[in-house]
Structure 1
Amino acid sequence: MSRHNLNDLLAFVMVAREGSFTRAAALLGVSQSALSQTVSGLEKRLKIRLLTRTTRSVSPTSAGERLMHAIGHRFDEIEAELDALTELRDKPAGTVRITCGDFVLKTILLPRLTPLLLEYPDIKVEFDINYGFRDIVADRFDAGIRFGDTVDKDMIAAPIGPEVRMAAVASPSYFARNSMPKKPQDLVNHKCIDIRYPTLGGVDAWEFEKRGRKINVRVVGQVIVNTSAHVPAAAVNGLGIAYLPEEEFAPHIEEGRLVRVLEDWCPLFSGYHLYYPSRRLPTPAFSLVLNALRGKSS
């Protein structure tokens, strides 16, 4: 295929990955109609349908899947090599994409990366706030943030924070109306504030541990959210018992707005880790971001 058709292939790859002409057009900086014409032209030249289009979605055909598997990663490799060339410049450049949660972004990522971004104005960091276990390879992220014991074994994981202890809390007003739980099983008789994680599809059980004995409790309540950001406020407002890493409740506990319970049942977890594919060559920009998050000088 002639070189001028590489743009057509890139257009197809972006639409197939995004499952949307609208999103792909925004990423490529072209109009939706122009992108549709480009992909249609590619299909016409190849004499085969690559995408199935409906009013609600776009998905690759079997031929499109085959083409995606054959060439999709090639564009990623080219992009990575171009980013790697920035090490030959006076200052590295490029975009680093990280998927993470709200709290770790506010307390660890932004404070540690701010000096780096001020020093290297050509480095950009894009944060995807997401509580699902994203496939960072398929979704084209450079890295993700998780607790260390949840990172897939084929990833490289670098600790960026200390171990984390969980905390079960509620407001004094809630406990004025309800007795305090003495053991994890008592939570089934309480209103609890829960999180629905996108990857799981439902709410997850709360995990407790004491002297090697582990107990999982499925709780219920009136409030379910999809991020942890609003859980402390819901607990302060007396809507039930909440369960998160203790640092997310710390100011409210210190000032008496929240009260801890089941403290001897709250386990210690490995802290936040930045993880990334073991087979991907880190770009200079990513290496600087990694060093900054690990507290190492560049």
Structure 2
Amino acid sequence: MNRNQLAQLAVLSTVAAHRSFRAAAKELGIAPSAVSHAVSTLEESLGVRLLARTTRSVAPTEEGILLLERLRPALDEIGVALAAVVEAKGQPSGNLRLTAPRFAADLLIAPRLGEFLSLYPDIKLEIADEDGFTDIVREGFDAGVRLEESLEADMIAVKIGPPMRGAIVASPGYFEQFPIPQHPRDLLRHRCIRRRFSNGTLYNWEFEKDGQELTIPIDGPLILGEDRQPSPLRSAARD
């Protein structure tokens, strides 16, 4: 069955219900000639007469009755499906998969989860909190939280939070042995804690001031994986 036949079957069912081409045309919102053409084309493609026509009446033939009896459950299911779509309009439901870096999941998403789930009880929310910047489309996610510099050119993005600032910290004991850095480049002479993302890349510390950006390829004796709770990064820095 081709797509045109599906439309023609719907027209046939309407004509048979009303026993009138003109009444069917009025319900379907098309011209009577279009209704007649749809039925005639269907009959020609099937090689059988489906409607008996006189100047005063229209009635299904035996073949038409057999076809309509088998067709009615399918058309009813289509009607139920369309009604369900209309009823669900404006009421989000279904599965929603998000991917977000752990800091974004903790700081931006987690505080809003209670309110979100209360407002949209029919949504099943799944959050993958990982820092590897997974390909959103390839891995089957609906959306993701990303740093601005990590956005691809073809991504549709909206801002979900204020600018975020990081801090370079160390324990008091560390600064008893090493001078406090005065410029990001001074970090090249310090024993920094490095971080490896799940995709294998090592993070280089990034800085920005007055529109000027600077990336420092830090070095140090310790490399840790993705941040978890309790954070091994913070524990190592304190020690």
TM-score (normalizing by structure 1): 0.47
Structure 2 partner of 1:186? 186
Structure 2 partner of 1:232? 234
Larger Rg: 2
The structural deviation recorded for 1:143 is: 0.7
Residue pair 2:181, 2:187 contacting (<8 A) in 1 also = yes
Matches within 5 A, 1:251-270: none
Cα distance in structure 1, aligned partners of 2:197 and 2:208 = 22
Matches within 5 A, 1:204-223: 204-223=203-222
Unpaired runs of 5+ in structure 2?
Answer: 1-80
Cα pair distance change 1:210/1:92, threshold 3 Å: closer
Cα distance in structure 1, aligned partners of 2:161 and 2:106 = 13
Residue pair 1:188, 1:219 contacting (<8 A) in 2 also = yes
SS of residue matched to 1:168:
coil
Structure 1 partner of 2:161? 161
Cα distance in structure 2, aligned partners of 1:103 and 1:87 = 38
Residue pair 1:86, 1:92 contacting (<8 A) in 2 also = no
Cα distance in structure 2, aligned partners of 1:105 and 1:184 = 28
Cα pair distance change 1:120/1:207, threshold 3 Å: closer
SS of residue matched to 2:126:
strand
The structural deviation recorded for 1:86 is: 6.0
Asked whether 1:177 is paired with 2:177, we answer yes
Unpaired runs of 5+ in structure 1?
Answer: 1-81, 238-298
Cα distance in structure 1, aligned partners of 2:86 and 2:190 = 56
Residue pair 2:192, 2:220 contacting (<8 A) in 1 also = yes
Residue pair 2:97, 2:127 contacting (<8 A) in 1 also = yes
Identity of aligned residues (%): 39
Residue pair 1:207, 1:217 contacting (<8 A) in 2 also = yes
Question: Higher RCO, 1 or 2 (CA under 8 Å, sep at least 6)?
Answer: 1
Matches within 5 A, 1:76-155: 88-89=87-88, 91-155=91-155
Residue pair 2:198, 2:226 contacting (<8 A) in 1 also = no
Cα pair distance change 1:227/1:89, threshold 3 Å: same
Cα distance in structure 2, aligned partners of 1:135 and 1:227 = 17
